[in-house]
């Protein structure tokens, strides 16, 4: 991915969200098959949606309200990912170490998104 970094791919928040989504994809491969159409697909979808909303919002950064709205959508999806992590941990599909690491990383993504929403003019 490093050779394709341009535009939104240069954003630290995108890079962190993308790495987290990929790690969630890998760990979710180990979830039980009966979770395939619920927890597995939901955690993959929400974590990937963080990235797609960042990309979409970045392309609309000249329109402050739209940019903030898309970063808010990304933040919402990030929060949903945290909920699915709670379920994965409580169902014993992931270890406490993985849970704490992924939650911490997700919270960092949330802080970065909130900073972007509060300072949209930095991205014009």
pLDDT tens over the chain, length 124 residues: 444 556 999 999 999 999 999 999 999 999 999 999 999 999 999 999 999 999 999 999 999 999 999 999 999 999 999 999 999 999 999 999 999 999 999 999 999 999 999 999 999 8
| Distance (Å, whole) CA 23 – CA 28 | 8
> Nearest to residue 13, comparing CAs of 59, 99, 81, 78?
78
When the pLDDT of each residue in the chain is averaged and rounded to a whole number, the result is: 95
CATH number for region 2-119? 1.20.1440.60
pLDDT attached to residue 124: 85
Provide the residue ranges of all domains of the chain, joining segments of one domain with +.
2-119
pLDDT in the model for residue 5: 57
Half-sphere exposure (CA, 13 Å, Cβ side) for 48? 9
Q: How far apart are CA 111 and CA 106, in angstroms?
A: 9
Beta carbons within 10 angstroms of residue 81's beta carbon = 28
Between CA 109 and CA 55, with CA 122 as vertex, the angle to 5 degrees is 50
pLDDT, residue 23, reads 98
């Amino acid at each position: 991915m490093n050779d394709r970094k341009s535009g939104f791919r240069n954003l630290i928040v995108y890079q962190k969200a993308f790495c987290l989504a990929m790690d969630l994809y890998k760990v979710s491969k180990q979830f039980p098959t009966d979770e395939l159409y619920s927890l597995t697909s939901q955690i993959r979808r929400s974590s990937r949606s963080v990235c797609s909303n960042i990309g979409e919002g970045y392309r609309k950064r000249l329109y402050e309200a739209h940019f903030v709205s898309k970063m808010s959508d990304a933040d919402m999806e990030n929060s949903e990912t945290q909920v699915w992590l709670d379920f994965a941990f409580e169902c014993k599909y992931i270890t406490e170490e993985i849970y704490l690491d992924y939650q911490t990383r997700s919270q960092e993504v949330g802080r970065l998104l909130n900073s972007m929403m509060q300072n949209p003019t930095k991205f014009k």
